[in-house]
Amino acid sequence: MDAIIYHNPACETSRNTLAMIRNAGIEPHIIEYLKCPPTRLLLAQLLKRAGLTVRQVLREKGTPFQDLGLNDLSLSDDALLDAIGAHPILINRPIVVTPQGVRLCRPSELVLDLLPPQHGPFIKENGERVIDEHGRRVATA
């Protein structure tokens, strides 16, 4: 299976998502979107395929979101895409693409819906058990 992850190695959620992709036996194409951001057209296509609006993919924490006034709900998608183009850190991550679809994987477990079965247990960096020793999802409380 082919997979693409728009990844930020400094992000724990992104690292966990990448690790679950690999735990499914897939070595994805890794695009560090801060170094190589998607074009405006590609981002718009990814969002459409994921069923997301531009506003839904905007990241507020640790970004210039507030300074740029992006909380103004009257801003158009074009204005938001312009801001993302100038500041790729505004893209919430990770975004994963597989033949099963496109998804913003927050929380990281959302990637499991896009993947074949896991090859054994998986525990997140924070110690949370996600997949048991039989490759099955662990129920959360």
Q: Buried (b) or exposed (e) across 5-15, using 16+ Cβ within 10 A?
A: bbbbeebebbb
Domains of the chain: 4-131 (3.40.30.10)
| pLDDT 10s digits, 9-34 | 999 999 999 999 999 999 999 999 99
Is 105 annotated in the active site? no
Q: What percent of the chain is modeled with pLDDT above 90?
A: 94
3-state secondary structure 63-104: CCCCCCCCCCCCCCHHHHHHHHHHCHHHECCCEEEECCEEEE
Confidence at residue 135, expressed as pLDDT on a 0 to 100 scale: 86
pLDDT at residue 66 tops 70:
yes
Confidence label for 35 from pLDDT (cuts 50, 70 and 90): very high
Confidence at residue 80, expressed as pLDDT on a 0 to 100 scale: 97
Torsion angles phi and psi, residue 29, rounded to 5: -80, 120
Confidence label for 139 from pLDDT (cuts 50, 70 and 90): confident
Angle in degrees, CA 52, 78, 64, rounded to 5? 80
What mean pLDDT is reported for the chain?
Answer: 96
Pick 113 or 135 by higher pLDDT.
Answer: 113
Classify 113 as helix, strand or coil.
helix
Q: Which of 11, 43, 104, 114 is flagged as catalytic?
A: 11
Confidence label for 4 from pLDDT (cuts 50, 70 and 90): very high
Could you tell me the pTM of the whole model?
Answer: 0.94
Instruction: In whole angstroms, give the CA distance from residue 89 to residue 86.
Output: 9
